[in-house]
Amino acid sequence: MTSDLKSQYCTRFSSEKQIFVCDPIPLFMSEKVTPEHLQQVHKQALETFNKIETLESLQVFTGNLVGKKSAMGDWFKQLKALDVEAKKELGPKLQEFKTYWEQACLDKQNQLETQALNQKLASDFIDVTQAYPSQKGALHPLSQVQRHIESIFTGMGFEIADGPEVETEWHNFDALNVPANHPARDMQDTFFVNSKNDRSDLNSVLRTQTSNIQIRKMLENGAPVRIIAPGRVYRNEDVDATHDAMFYQVEGLVVDKDISVSHLKGTLETMLSAVFAKPMKIRIRPGYFPFVEPGLEVDIWWEYIDKNGEEKGRWLEFCGAGMVHPNVLRNSGVDPEEFTGFAFGFGLTRLVMMKYGIEDIRLLSSNKREFLQQF
Ligand code: PHE
């Protein structure tokens, strides 16, 4: 009898290939089945049965007790071999045992399955009505300032213009009064895309300045013209905290009758005061750019608090500007006898750095969330 009741351990391989073992379940086998034996097994089975908590254990239990190759299957075989009297005594008991345990196993299976399902439902439950802490995206600081500048200029009657970043050498240099071999082509560390042709309108460069838009706009629409052109420019620079091989500029061009340097000054002061939300002072001094005559440098009066907490101010270079060179007007089909104009080009990237106190230009193209989340 004791050997009949030895336990069977159930091992299974789950999908993660982990072995897992169920509770020890007796085999319930016996060499000779008798009514007393049935009683004993019933008691033992109840004990085991009440402890079963998993479907796996129940499956083994059911298999051992009432399944095809179970103890009970064996007892029914033994029953056939008994004489009539013994059959009469044992038969109904065996049947009763069978009915009881088949039902009990089925009930327990339902109960465990429902329990498992409820557990899964509880753990899978998602409350779609619950507020989820979401993170809002925002425009990149460059885009924010660019949009602000665009709205300031459109408020002054300017149009926003755009043009190619891969530009002909002609639009980027020749038409802007920068002749071949002029040092200005090197001054701007040009990336040449294709420079094998002897005609500059067949060669291409990554534009080194947004000034190409001056030419394109005047060729397209003639004069008068009043535009700004924000966009990317490229220079073959060694990258460090203040230099990048790609940065943003904003070009400005006004060509009309009787345009003078004072229009330029007023326009830039208005724009800067709006960007920094306080009156900004600028100064103008001579500078050199082949496409303007006179060429000008514009400085901005920059107020800041120094390390000792003292209020300080100093002049900072802000942009190149000037009165559009007659050759540039001519190259763009505009009569310099009839029209004059001013142009400027400032670094939008640098302006953003000044506005927010960003000390490393590389942060602006780094995609670092800790950095971008501040704007
Ligand atoms: N294109 C010049 C630069 O990139 C700036 C500039 C624009 C100067 C227009 C004068 C007039 O440095």
Q: Per-residue DSSP letters for 167-200?
A: EEHHHHTGGGT--TT-HHHHHTT--EEE--SSST
Which atom of ligand 1 sits closest to the CA of residue 324?
A: 11
Q: CA 278 from chain center: how many Å?
A: 35
Q: Which atom of ligand 1 sits closest to the CA of residue 345? A: 7
Q: What is the pLDDT of residue 187?
A: 62
How high is the pLDDT of residue 20?
52
Q: How far is Cα 101 from Cα 255, in angstroms, rounded to an integer? A: 100
| Average pLDDT per block of 10 residues along the chain, 375 residues long | 46 50 77 88 93 90 87 90 91 94 96 94 87 84 97 98 96 93 76 88 94 98 97 94 95 97 97 96 96 98 93 96 98 97 97 95 93 92
Beta bridge partner(s), residue 255: 225, 341
pLDDT of residue 22: 66
Q: Which tokens belong to 327?
A: 């050759």
C-alpha 16/C-alpha 343 separation (Å) is 70
Give residue 56's pLDDT: 87
From first CA to last CA, the distance across the chain in angstroms is: 80
According to the model, what pLDDT value does residue 126 have? 85
What CA–CA distance (Å, rounded) separates 110 from 117?
Answer: 10
pLDDT value of residue 4: 41
Provide the 8-state DSSP code for 82. Answer: S
pLDDT at 209: 97
How far, in Å, CA of 276 to CA of 11, rounded?
A: 73
Top mutation candidate among 182, 209, 227 for ligand 1, by most atoms within 8 Å of CB: 209
The atom of ligand 1 lying closest to the CA of 346 is 5
> What is 211-262 written as a DSSP string?
THHHHHHHHHH-SSEEEEEEEEEE--PPPBTTB-SEEEEEEEEEEETT--HH
Closest residue by Cα to atom 4, ligand 1, is 209
Residue nearest to atom 10 of ligand 1 (CA): 321
Instruction: Report yes or no: 248 and 232 within 8 Å, Cβ to Cβ.
Output: yes
Extract the tokens encoding 207.
């534009």
Ligand 1 mean position, distance from CA 228 (Å): 13
As a whole number of angstroms, the distance between CA 50 and CA 53 comes to 8
Alpha carbon of 289 to ligand 1 centroid (Å): 7
- Per DSSP bridges, beta strands 225-234 and 159-160 are parallel
State whether residue 292 is helix, strand or coil.
Answer: strand
CA dist., res. 64 & res. 48, Å (int): 12
Q: What distance in angstroms lies between residue 174's CA and the mean position of ligand 1's atoms?
A: 14
Q: What residues are in contact with ligand 1 under a 6 Å CB criterion?
A: 209, 211, 289, 292, 320-322, 343-345
Domains of the chain: 3-124 (no CATH), 142-372 (3.30.930.10)
C-alpha to C-alpha distance for 94 and 70, rounded to whole angstroms? 14
